[in-house]
Chains A and B, each alone.
Chain A
């Protein structure tokens, strides 16, 4: 796709999102000027940019919507709930039209029918039910809307040679409205001997009547804007003519304006005539100053954001990853050098400051990818609204922590699972209003969507105050499906987690929203793909809470390098609580138990050598790295601790990608391969399968 089209599409997406947000707010009863203005601007912007590409269908449709919203904005049409619903549908149709236009495809017949239907409804509102009487009122209003403008024109030196005719500007203005008074300013025209006949000396003062705005008037002069000096103002603006005199600095202008009856002589009080040159200077200086102040402000605005193709950033991250690996190699070489003779210390220093700088650059690049989850969360408002409306439930949807930042890819990939879970919460969780009242709850249910950072990861919670999960039903269904052995003893949490298994739906009737038992397993898989975990807590009759933990970023981690047998492993630093040495005495105490007594508390151990079938240790010492995720702790039994290591996660390829407990691999500076532990998964495996 052409770059311009891509930008157009992105722009439209933004505008459609603004529109949707505003409409959903209106649906929730927040009908205010701001929301209406936002929708109007969104439609207007889409129309404008679609027009530039010649997407006539989009323009025509947007135009109708824009007209209606303009009327709403001006108060001649009142908004009602049906109308908001209609606008939401129009928004969707507009999205389809834009897609069709960009991809150069045609809408199918059904969509066309929908489109013309929507348009007809819009037109019906525009033409409206207003009684003839009201029409008269409206008409007189529209006359009142015409405003009087003063347009002062002076020509710059080269204007005549541009070949532009001032008469065509006058003609155009007379089409837009009416020039009531057109007064040529001739006092600047010199005597013949001093006249350069091709230089402009003449000027114009116009009184113009029209339903327009300053911007539109300036646009009339767009083509000659560099060759004219304009002052445009509404004539009832306070001190407007004073400002004009100041701007023009023409001695005779005041009397000319009075003579030509633009203003009454009394407009300019006597004392103002006695402005001393000093004050004029001061005013001018002030003007200059204020102009100076304005400029950087504008520049600042222009540089606050920059739209960058996310592929460019991904590429940068890839390079960065390679640099990190290369730098690790340099560091290890320098370290070896130092061991041999002590002269390498300067090199070592340089290499370490390089490492530090690279960390800054890495963090900077990663930071570019971080986006606030709020924008993505806001999209869910409509889904919650539509879903609850469809099934007759009344749900208050509360978003908190919208400013929490998360990697763009993670945000994008978490979106669908969240939608699914939200739908489930509304469909299965929150009860119908009458049911809620009968249970002594408020008729309106509540669904919370929260995001917050917690110990190196981001937590997203979905909580509802609905009926909660029915343990017995889930368990019996799972046994019936053969997913659980009838004799197995499961904890509450394990039972709840069964809802993430394929084919398990306890919904009594299948609706088109949820209940087919397809989806929750996909949700779990999506989250696991992101190296995240999902937990669920529930109280029967009171509601459920789903907690998702996600890593901050996907590509680079700060790790801790350890050795087991002959293989090196990397443990993400964010999951490490502490390291302790396992003394021979303790080892003897342990016997065959897989836990130790750590300062009076039992710490389950995971023998890495055993589960990954490593060879016997080459070193005599044994260490325990205590890792945690959420509120669970496990000690990893390893041989050597090799220290902190910044690393890049590389996929192990299709064959090994589902290796339990391993999230990927990394190439060390020495060229060796290290495997990266997936701590959340390891902890889960440990507690579930008793490794």
Chain B
């Protein structure tokens, strides 16, 4: 699914996103379309890691789609590509 009306995964949005992600976990095939997301911070990265862990615990795969270059860079500068399976 796409994250509608959300342009950043940061401390300002994490509460809202947590609920969205909890819903997402109910789906069989989890695909997170990151189109339109331009900004991410360490709080957002932590949320994504938690999301991945939860999916994994349910035996489900998560696929990120359309990650923008700037978001990728921000994840890289926090050294979290590995943790998010982006390498």
Which residues of A are in contact with B by a Cβ distance under 8 Å?
Answer: 160-161, 165-167, 170, 182-184, 186, 189-193, 195, 197-198, 200-202, 204
Q: How far is the CB of A174 from chain B (nearest CB, A)?
A: 10
Judging by beta carbons under 8 Å apart, are B79 and A202 in contact?
Answer: no
Judging by beta carbons under 8 Å apart, are A184 and B83 in contact?
Answer: yes
Q: How far is the CB of A193 from chain B (nearest CB, A)?
A: 7
Closest 10 CB pairs of A and B: A197-B14, A182-B79, A192-B54, A191-B54, A195-B50, A197-B18, A189-B50, A202-B46, A186-B83, A189-B49
Give Cα distance in the complex from A195 to B52, angstroms. Answer: 12
* Across-interface contacts of B80 in A (CB, < 8 A): 184, 186
* Across-interface contacts of B79 in A (CB, < 8 A): 182-184, 204
List, sorted by A's number, 14 A–B pairs whose CB atoms are closer than 8 Å: A160-B42, A160-B43, A167-B78, A170-B77, A184-B82, A189-B46, A191-B50, A192-B22, A192-B25, A197-B50, A198-B14, A198-B43, A200-B43, A202-B46
Q: How far is the CB of B68 from chain A (nearest CB, A)?
A: 17
Give Cα distance in the complex from A170 to B42, angstroms. Answer: 13
Q: How far is the CB of B55 from chain A (nearest CB, A)?
A: 9
Known A-B contacts A192-B18, A192-B54; A198 and B77 likewise in contact (beta carbons under 8 Å): no
Known A-B contacts A160-B11, A165-B42, A166-B42; A192 and B83 likewise in contact (beta carbons under 8 Å): no
* In the complex, chain B residues 49-72 whose Cβ is within 8 Å of any chain A Cβ: 49-51, 53-54, 57
Q: How far is the CB of A168 from chain B (nearest CB, A)?
A: 10
Give Cα distance in the complex from A184 to B45, angstroms. Answer: 11
Give Cα distance in the complex from A186 to B53, angstroms. Answer: 10
* Across-interface contacts of B74 in A (CB, < 8 A): 167
- In the complex, the chain A residue whose C-beta lies closest to that of B42 is A166
* Across-interface contacts of B51 in A (CB, < 8 A): 192
Give Cα distance in the complex from A458 to B33, angstroms. Answer: 90
Give Cα distance in the complex from A165 to B45, angstroms. Answer: 13
Give Cα distance in the complex from A193 to B25, angstroms. Answer: 11
Judging by beta carbons under 8 Å apart, are B53 and A191 in contact?
Answer: yes
Known A-B contacts A186-B83, A192-B54, A198-B14; A167 and B77 likewise in contact (beta carbons under 8 Å): yes
* Across-interface contacts of B45 in A (CB, < 8 A): 202
Q: Of the candidates A166, A182, A184, A189, which one forms a contact with B53 in the assembled complex, judged by CB atoms under 8 Å apart?
A: A189
- Using a Cβ–Cβ cut-off of 8 Å, how many residues does chain B contribute to the interface with A? 27
Q: How far is the CB of A635 from chain B (nearest CB, A)?
A: 92
Q: How far is the CB of B44 from chain A (nearest CB, A)?
A: 9
Known A-B contacts A170-B77, A202-B46; A193 and B22 likewise in contact (beta carbons under 8 Å): yes
* Across-interface contacts of A160 in B (CB, < 8 A): 11, 42-43
* Across-interface contacts of B49 in A (CB, < 8 A): 186, 189, 202
Per-residue A-contact encoding for B4-22, CB less than 8 Å = 1, 0 else: 0000000100110110011
Judging by beta carbons under 8 Å apart, are B83 and A191 in contact?
Answer: no
- In the complex, the chain A residue whose C-beta lies closest to that of B46 is A202
Known A-B contacts A160-B11, A189-B46, A202-B49; A195 and B18 likewise in contact (beta carbons under 8 Å): yes
Q: Of the candidates A166, A190, A192, A200, which one forms a contact with B78 in the assembled complex, judged by CB atoms under 8 Å apart?
A: A166
Which residues of B are in contact with A by a Cβ distance under 8 Å?
Answer: 11, 14-15, 17-18, 21-22, 25, 41-43, 45-47, 49-51, 53-54, 57, 74, 77-80, 82-83
Give Cα distance in the complex from A165 to B54, angstroms. Answer: 26
- In the complex, the chain A residue whose C-beta lies closest to that of B13 is A197
Judging by beta carbons under 8 Å apart, are B54 and A193 in contact?
Answer: yes
Judging by beta carbons under 8 Å apart, are B25 and A198 in contact?
Answer: no
Interface centre among A190, A191, A193, A200 (most CB of B within 10 A): A191
Give Cα distance in the complex from A191 to B52, angstroms. Answer: 9
Give Cα distance in the complex from A138 to B15, angstroms. Answer: 56
* Across-interface contacts of A165 in B (CB, < 8 A): 41-42
Give Cα distance in the complex from A448 to B44, angstroms. Answer: 76
Q: How far is the CB of B83 from chain A (nearest CB, A)?
A: 5
Q: Of the candidates B17, B25, B77, B82, which one forms a contact with A197 in the assembled complex, judged by CB atoms under 8 Å apart?
A: B17
Give Cα distance in the complex from A563 to B12, angstroms. Answer: 92
Interface centre among A160, A161, A184, A198 (most CB of B within 10 A): A184
Give Cα distance in the complex from A200 to B45, angstroms. Answer: 11
Judging by beta carbons under 8 Å apart, are B11 and A190 in contact?
Answer: no
* Across-interface contacts of B17 in A (CB, < 8 A): 197
Besides A160-B43, A191-B54, A197-B17, 18 more A-B contacts (Cβ < 8 Å) are: A160-B11, A160-B42, A166-B42, A167-B42, A167-B74, A170-B77, A184-B80, A184-B82, A189-B53, A191-B50, A192-B18, A192-B25, A192-B54, A193-B54, A197-B43, A198-B11, A198-B15, A204-B79
Q: How far is the CB of B56 from chain A (nearest CB, A)?
A: 9
Q: How far is the CB of A3 from chain B (nearest CB, A)?
A: 43
* Across-interface contacts of B57 in A (CB, < 8 A): 191
Q: How far is the CB of B84 from chain A (nearest CB, A)?
A: 10
* Across-interface contacts of B18 in A (CB, < 8 A): 192, 195, 197
Q: Of the candidates B11, B41, B46, which one forms a contact with A201 in the assembled complex, judged by CB atoms under 8 Å apart?
A: B46
Judging by beta carbons under 8 Å apart, are B54 and A202 in contact?
Answer: no
* Across-interface contacts of A191 in B (CB, < 8 A): 50, 53-54, 57
* Across-interface contacts of A197 in B (CB, < 8 A): 14-15, 17-18, 43, 46-47, 50
* Across-interface contacts of B21 in A (CB, < 8 A): 192
* Across-interface contacts of A202 in B (CB, < 8 A): 42, 45-46, 49
Interface centre among B22, B41, B42, B51 (most CB of A within 10 A): B42
Q: How far is the CB of A633 from chain B (nearest CB, A)?
A: 88
Give Cα distance in the complex from A183 to B22, angstroms. Answer: 27
Give Cα distance in the complex from A480 to B78, angstroms. Answer: 93
Give Cα distance in the complex from A198 to B16, angstroms. Answer: 11
* Across-interface contacts of A190 in B (CB, < 8 A): 50, 53
Q: How far is the CB of B20 from chain A (nearest CB, A)?
A: 10
- In the complex, the chain B residue whose C-beta lies closest to that of A163 is B11
Give Cα distance in the complex from A75 to B80, angstroms. Answer: 43
Give Cα distance in the complex from A202 to B84, angstroms. Answer: 13
Q: How far is the CB of B72 from chain A (nearest CB, A)?
A: 14
Give Cα distance in the complex from A195 to B83, angstroms. Answer: 17
Give Cα distance in the complex from A191 to B55, angstroms. Answer: 9
Q: How far is the CB of A562 from chain B (nearest CB, A)?
A: 87
* Across-interface contacts of A170 in B (CB, < 8 A): 77
Q: How far is the CB of A453 from chain B (nearest CB, A)?
A: 68
Give Cα distance in the complex from A202 to B43, angstroms. Answer: 9
Q: How far is the CB of B75 from chain A (nearest CB, A)?
A: 10
Give Cα distance in the complex from A184 to B43, angstroms. Answer: 13
Q: Of the candidates B50, B77, B82, which one forms a contact with A192 in the assembled complex, judged by CB atoms under 8 Å apart?
A: B50
* Across-interface contacts of A189 in B (CB, < 8 A): 46, 49-50, 53
Give Cα distance in the complex from A484 to B72, angstroms. Answer: 101
* Across-interface contacts of B22 in A (CB, < 8 A): 192-193
Q: How far is the CB of A194 from chain B (nearest CB, A)?
A: 8
Give Cα distance in the complex from A406 to B58, angstroms. Answer: 83
* Across-interface contacts of A183 in B (CB, < 8 A): 79
Give Cα distance in the complex from A192 to B53, angstroms. Answer: 8
